[in-house]
Amino acid sequence: MHGPFHRGGSRKPMGEINVVPFIDVMLVLLVIFMITAPMLTQGVQVDLPQVSSEPIDNPEDNDPIIVSVDRDGQYFLSLGGDETTVDLDELAERVIILLERNPRTPVMVRGDRNVSYGQVVTLMSTLQVAGVANVGLISEPPSGEE
């Protein structure tokens, strides 16, 4: 009798792999990464002033040292995506160390538009004492302009 439970000796090996479970896993991973990717870009909330200006060329493609001041007057140091809270003394020490490793690293300042002018000037003075000859200021283009 030949039925669904018949175990005949003429069974052929299947030469194909069932890829449906792999596709299911990949779709689940895709959804997880799509949801978590926007959460990975964290940083200091800085409301940059909006002005029309030309971008600065960086011919050596060094990651710039970015020093930020948020609306509460806290200072942050960022290099290559790693951002840490620092005070002014520690900021000067770290910038000196970073510039000793690569003196051509550009230094940029991100200042919140609501922070006092005095804090930005104090920050730039601290950077000058640390040996930074040129400081770039980061701004955003006015809305509607790119």
Tell me what pLDDT residue 105 has.
84
DSSP state of 83: E
**Residue ranges of domains in the chain, CATH in brackets:** 65-137 (3.30.420.270)
Tell me what pLDDT residue 30 has.
93
Q: What angle do CA 104, 109, 73 make, to 5 degrees?
A: 140
- Residues with pLDDT less than 70, the chain: 1-10, 39-61, 144-146
Look up residue 20 and give its amino acid.
Answer: V
What whole-number distance in Å separates Cα of residue 65 and Cα of residue 98?
8
What whole-number distance in Å separates Cα of residue 25 and Cα of residue 33?
12
